[in-house]
Amino acid sequence: MSIVITGATGHLGRLVVEELLTTHRVPAGDIAAVVRNEEKAADLAARGVELRIADYGDPASLEGAFRAGERVLLISGSEVGRRVPQHTALVEAAKAAGVAQLAYTGVLGGPGADFDLAAEHKVTERLILDSGLPYTFLRNGWYHENYTEHLAPVLEHGAVVGNAGDGRVASAARADYAAAAAAVLTGEGHLGRTYELSGDTAWSFAEYAAEVARAAGREIAYRNVTAAEHQAILAGAGLPEPLPAILADVDVAIGRGLLAGTSGDLARLIGRPTTPVATAVETAVRAAG
């Protein structure tokens, strides 16, 4: 029986494969990576991981992506606005193959997440439930990296800009979420389960700015603006549509407490505390020079 990781050359997918190989000691030959670009996965193939070439947007290519009895991690697509048809094709392919488990990386809060970015995730969860497949829902909260990978403008302008007000975010490291996925794919008792995954501690943007200031040794403020102003700033920074509107809407959701939940599910699955945001900030500031 193989463990299959879709989107295996993405940031999260690579970390899951690494967790399987190193932490869980899964033989490379028992791992299959579903990838769009074979060249980008050459390092995985060199380690003995099986490559299955398929594209989320090409249903015909998915026909051989899965096999009976396999455990599959469906990492949600990155193309906002196109994910429902893509995920539909993936679910249909998994059902036709008769996989033993379909784990899906959704969004914290599930049906209760009423912000725009959550809409496609909620539809996908319903598709999986309606398919009758044995499932596990991994409702991921926000990643530290959503912020720490974009520190350059923060350090340049001395400000963290957002429209979340005093809202809090229970983020965790991407590697924490990867460890949880690997645990679910290799363990027992996870079928039919839903996990609300988030960091152990929720932080405010003012607290985040203070952590950046401490790590950088300079003054960093939190500049709270309106959603419209934030959207204009993001668009001016070159973010393509529809991302500025989506990210400003996420901040509105944060302001309403929708990404602040701390269920403890993530720490329990990985068997350790989640990575503190301060650790991620320190690492990112050092990398930024």
Whether the CB-CB separation of 74 and 105 falls below 8 Å is answered with yes
Q: Name the percent of the chain lying above pLDDT 90.
A: 95
pLDDT on residue 78: 84
What the chain holds in terms of domains, given with CATH numbers, is 3-140 (3.40.50.720), 142-172+199-260+272-289 (3.90.25.10)
Q: How many other CB atoms are there within 10 angstroms of residue 59's CB atom? A: 16
β-strand partners of 3: 31, 71
Specify the DSSP class assigned to residue 172.
Answer: B
| Cα 63 from Cα 72, distance rounded (Å) | 14
Cα separations (Å) of 188 from 128, 273, 284? 20, 21, 35
Tokens of 236: 């001016």
What b/e sequence results for 19-39 when a residue is b if at least 16 CB atoms lie within 10 Å of its CB, and e otherwise?
Answer: bbbeeeebeeeebbbbbbeee
- Please give the chain's pLDDT, 289 residues, in tens: 799 999 999 999 999 999 999 999 999 999 999 999 999 999 999 999 999 999 999 999 999 999 999 999 999 998 888 899 999 999 999 999 999 999 999 999 999 999 999 999 999 999 999 999 999 999 999 999 999 999 999 999 999 999 999 999 999 999 999 999 999 999 999 999 999 999 999 999 999 999 999 999 999 999 999 999 999 999 999 989 899 999 999 999 999 999 999 999 999 999 999 999 999 999 999 998 7
What is the token pair recorded at 153? 């403008």
Give Cβ neighbours of residue 23 (< 8 Å, ≥ 6 apart): 179, 182
Query: What is the model's pTM?
Result: 0.97
Measured CA to CA, the distance from residue 113 to residue 123 in angstroms comes to 12
The candidate with the shortest Cα–Cα distance to 227, out of 249, 254, 205, is 249
| pLDDT per position as a tens digit, 150-189 | 999 999 999 999 999 999 999 999 999 999 999 999 999 9
